[in-house]
């Protein structure tokens, strides 16, 4: 049971790492693309600055969208883990209750079979 929890926890963190690495690659690619565009741009300074600004805005919007999607995906995975934890908590509680009831019954049976050294007549 503990191994399954570890696997799910590792899977959640691997998913988050994957999302974050994708965002990093996207931003690095955007920076490299902007740099290359600057080097090879046959435009005036004003036109180049305008182009860089608009591409920067586009990159910012893409990053915001990717971050939002990553957040939603992480929330979904977190909710899934929460449901699993709640279910397992109820399951363990039920098992403990059953075990306690079984032990109480066994104790009553064991104590009920012990002969008393004297009889009590209600006095």
Asked, for residue 92, whether it belongs to a domain, the answer is yes
Overall number of domains in the chain:
1
Residue 77 located in a structural domain: yes
Q: Is 17 a domain residue?
A: yes
Residue 46: inside a domain: yes
Tokens at 20, concatenated: 């974050």
Q: What is the pTM of this model?
A: 0.45
Q: CA 93 → CA 9, 80, 88, distances in Å?
A: 22, 20, 8
Structural domain includes residue 108: no
The answer to whether position 112 is within a domain reads no
Render pLDDT for 81-113 as a digit per residue (tens, 0 to 9).
899 999 999 999 999 999 999 998 888 888 877
Domain that holds residue 35: 2-103
Whether residue 94 is contained in a domain is answered as yes
Label residue 20 by pLDDT band (50, 70, 90).
Answer: confident
Contact 8, 81 (CB under 8 A): yes
The per-residue pLDDT for range 48-76, each reduced to its tens digit, is 788 888 888 888 888 888 888 888 888 88
Residue 79: inside a domain: yes
pLDDT higher than 60, residue 123: no
């Amino acid at each position: 049971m503990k191994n399954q929890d570890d696997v799910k926890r590792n899977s959640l963190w691997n998913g988050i790492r994957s999302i974050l690495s994708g965002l990093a690659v996207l931003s690095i690619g955007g920076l490299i693309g902007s740099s290359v565009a600057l080097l090879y741009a046959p435009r005036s300074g004003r036109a180049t600055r305008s182009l860089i600004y608009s591409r920067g805005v586009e990159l910012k919007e893409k990053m915001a969208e990717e971050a939002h999607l990553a957040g939603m995906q992480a929330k979904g995975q977190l909710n899934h883990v929460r449901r699993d934890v709640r279910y397992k908590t109820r399951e363990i509680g039920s098992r403990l209750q059953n075990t306690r009831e079984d032990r109480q019954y066994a104790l009553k049976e064991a104590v009920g079979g012990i002969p008393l050294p004297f009889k009590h007549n209600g006095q």
